[in-house]
Chain A
Amino acid sequence: MTSKNLLFALLLVLPSCSSSKSTTPATPADDGGTIPPVDAGADAATDPCAGATGPCKVFAAGAKESDIANAIATATTGSTFVFGAGLFAFTNTLTFTAKNVTVMGAGMEQTIFDFKGLVSGSSGTGVDVLDGSDGFTIKNLAVRDTFKNGIKVKGSTGVTFQGVKVSWTNPDAKTHGDYALYPVFCKKVLVENCDISGSSDAGIYVGQSQTIIVRNNVSHDNVAGIEIENSYDAEVYKNTAKNNTGGLLVFDLPGSGNQHDGHNVHVHDNIVDSNNTQNFNATGSTVAQVPAGTGTFVLGTRDVEIDHNTFTNNGTTPFSVVSYYVSSPSWTQSQDPLYHPVSKRVYFHDNTMTGNGKDADLTTQLGLLLSSGRSVYPHGNVPEVLVDGISDPNDVVPSAPAGNPTYVCLGNNGTVDFANLHFDQLKPDGSNFAQGLTFDATAYNCTLPALPAVTF
């Protein structure tokens, strides 16, 4: 397998040429939760607990943290917690373990959970929902300024985020927490009508989960807008991912303790726009390698359908299908025998792509490499659709078309350029990159069965 270590050395001697960082404010998502906003305690005629079938507690702004903490720590099955309009400041993480708990505010602009006072010894996460907290719903409120994650839910079945806003107020984005919404190892996950911004990792991150709907969200100004990782049976639609470093990413990583083999991910009718924010993830992690100007990529995942999306003004590359070797060229199968590093059966069709690939991020290895092919690209810009050309001889895809061993199909995406980057032939110093490029997409003119809608 190739190595790009020398490219890294090249990067060090080049001046930084960052791509443009957009500061356009995003449109807030609709506050579309199904429960009408309530102002707890302000209007005696309105019962803030209306509709609650179990124990219900109401907290108005100014409620003591210890009272809220005691109530949450002793929550029983089916409990509802209603928070009125106003600011609620917390010094410790709110940790949930009971089943069928609902936490609701008076609206994402009205009820604010402020976590900038989290003490050392808290987990750094704002709302932490532990294994087995099935049926957890959080809606119509904002979570602000957590050190780490905004809302994390692990190992639970039936998890709903509706009309939640997560953001950070520190102008230095490097200080922001990691994941805004973080369901992991969950089943039946619904994320809708949320407004997420500022994460130093992923805004909406669904990891190691199954049966997932992510819809009608706006995720902006994060390093990664939306990530579906090591997950299967996911439908991601009608979201807007804009002004992130990378917009909407589908990938699998090795070493997962619980779940490998991400598949059946259907991404449709999304807007992936202007994801050109300079990467502000100040770590050595995988996401720190994502070049600004990345729209969508599929990495190490099989059976992915991406259709009817609009990709606009993503400066480096709007869409690519790649293997894990792109980020980790020296990885070997022995490090994780259960992991499949190569993406397979990816169907990219009926998408609209305009204004992309014009401003590759030259602060990253991949951006530099892609830019180095400019002289031979058909229209001067990085082609809209890229494949890395890496296939796995030990993981043959049945019925794959000749010349298309990973079975990537492209159709009806308008007039777009295609390139096979042939990383399988790339020298470690990248010097033969431009010579290795091929632009003929004929072998990729195929179809794959449509993925079924996700319901639960």
Chain B
Amino acid sequence: MRKEAALFGVLALAACGGSLSIRLPDGDDGGADSGGPSLPTPQPHAITPGCTPGGDGSYLTTPYPTLDAYCIVSLVNGTPTYGSGIVPYDLNTPLFSDYAVKRRAVYLPPGKTATYSANEIFEFPVGTVLIKSFGFPDDARKAAPIMKWIETRLIVRVEGGWKAYAYLWDDAQQVATYNPGGRALQVSWIDATGTKKEHGYLQPSQTQCQQCHEDSGTVTPIGPKARNLNRDFAYGDKTENQLARWTSAKILTGAPSDPTTAPKLAVWDDVAHFAVDQRARAYLEVNCAHCHDAVGSASTSGLFLWASETDPTRYGVCKEPLSAGGSVGARTWDVVPGDPDASILWFRMAATQPGIAMPQISRDVVDKEAVALIRDWITGLPKAPCNK
């Protein structure tokens, strides 16, 4: 069972059975790591003293050349560490990124607040930065694995919309440099079962980010919706519901005072609390619906995968693909109830060849646990033949 680490810090990560990694042969600059783990240099402070979060503010027009200029995040003892007032968060069901460990946080300019929405992305003020760092452990069996952070992506709220910027960490884990063109990398790590993993990891290009992060051509965040944020988080002082915390931290207004009345997305791998159908639909929403909806980059597929979609045809049941081309593996229907092997949706999630694999971007390895979940879900749908 895989579980993206829900907590903040290496020990907590290990306790969650997080999948971790190290050694990052660099694809382009001949800077391939020669082998052993490179320990990050311990730093006394997360952020350079005297540096104000947001830097000089010019990031609203031009991304800073290096991540440190934002004064919002740095690596301390191998852990993303944030400046004051920056709130880390986690999601009920995250996007799968080749088993990378992810750390998320949000920065809002001082005195500014986001406005709650029950169903949509919150309305964030100009200057907001969503911060997400991606890394792998050297050995996920360790209680405190050594993390190798690959990249930190920022989604910045500017006048009139959002911008996406990606920063690539150096081998020494000291400096993250703006890298808009993306890069094809290789990662090597040991998973929780002791199996050595070596696979590709594509840092997407800045424009490629938009393939997922877009609605009708404009950049849009995916994660920070009420239903995906509505969960507990272990903050430094106490464990607390994130919507409540955002409200008390005065970065969110309008949220229900009782979080149990807010929407809540299923936790895709929480077998104890959610049914297979809820977990599968949640996984499909988070991993697919940002493209597979009426305004996403896969709108022309007619396959719409929000968990709230109630029309079975729209979420694939006995639906023929419109223009999937040769990617369907001699299958005819997106989802054949009761028959995962005949279902294109399952087939493409289990594939790795570019052009067949879904999701399309930045997935080199199969999310085995999720493929098993989708298999269970399709198997459990009332068996019925699809007719042409």
A residues neighboring B (CB under 8 Å): 64-75, 91-93, 95-97, 118-125, 128, 130-133, 146-149, 154-155, 174, 176-179, 182, 184-185, 200-201, 205, 207-208, 229, 253-258, 281-287, 327-331, 335-336
Contact = CB atoms under 8 A, between A and B. Distances in A.
A121 B354 contact: yes
Interface string B338-371: 0000000000000011111100111110000000
Contacts of B206: 73-74
A25 to B, nearest CB: 24
A281 B326 contact: yes
A256 B354 contact: no
A297 to B, nearest CB: 18
Nearest to A284: B332
B29 to A, nearest CB: 8
Interface in B313-351: 313, 319-332
Contacts of B388: 327-331
Nearest to A149: B325
Closest 3 CB pairs of A and B: A132-B217, A178-B325, A124-B355
B354 A122 contact: yes
Nearest to B356: A124
Interface in B171-214: 179-184, 200-202, 204-208, 210-211, 214
A73 B327 contact: no
Contacts of B302: 255-257
Given A201-B326, A285-B325, A123 B361 contact: yes
Contact of A282 (B181, B200, B326): B326
A255 B322 contact: yes
Nearest to A201: B325
B327 A148 contact: yes
Interface stretch (B6-14, B85-93, B127-135, B292-300): B292-300
B201 A121 contact: yes
A65 B182 CA distance: 10
Given A66-B183, A120-B357, A72 B207 contact: yes
Contacts, number: 210
Given A73-B206, A74-B180, A97-B210, A124 B325 contact: no
Contacts of A178: 324-327, 355
A192 B135 CA distance: 46
B218 interface: yes
B216 A155 contact: yes
A131 B217 contact: yes
Contact of B325 (A69, A118, A200): A200
A182 to B, nearest CB: 8
Given A124-B360, A184-B323, A335-B313, A73 B328 contact: no
A207 to B, nearest CB: 6
A316 to B, nearest CB: 20
Nearest to A202: B325
A336 B218 CA distance: 29
Contact of B184 (A68, A91, A329): A91
A207 B323 contact: yes
B212 to A, nearest CB: 10
A71 B206 CA distance: 10
B180 A130 contact: no
Given A91-B184, A257-B299, A122 B325 contact: no
